[in-house]
Amino acid sequence: MAKKSKKLKRTVDEQLLGSIFTLEREWKQIQSLVEKSIEPTVDGYYRENISQVKYLFLLREARRRKISAIRYNK
């Protein structure tokens, strides 16, 4: 039973890290578009802020769970 629990935790942790990396790319991409825009729209700012908040939320969750990206690169 303990092995199953550890395997499930590892799977969830890997999914969390994948989501963090995906959201980071999305946030940076939107941020770049807003910065390069001549007249950025309010919608662009909202999307950037939402992406940033999601990313930071997942980072806090990873810290709370004591997850390290280095450990899962194997």
Contact indicator for 72, 13 with CB cutoff of 8 Å? yes
Instruction: Note the pLDDT of residue 20.
Output: 94
User: What's the pLDDT score for residue 71?
Assistant: 67
Where are the chain's structural domains?
41-74
Question: Looking at residue 4, what is its pLDDT?
Answer: 81
pLDDT tens digits along 29-65: 999 999 999 998 999 999 999 999 999 999 999 999 9
Backbone angles phi, psi at 41, to 5 degrees: -85, 165
Cα angle: 58, vertex 59, 64; to 5 degrees: 95
Q: What is the CA radius of gyration of the chain?
A: 16
User: Does the CA dihedral 22-43-57-7 come out positive or negative?
Assistant: negative
pLDDT at 70 over 60: yes
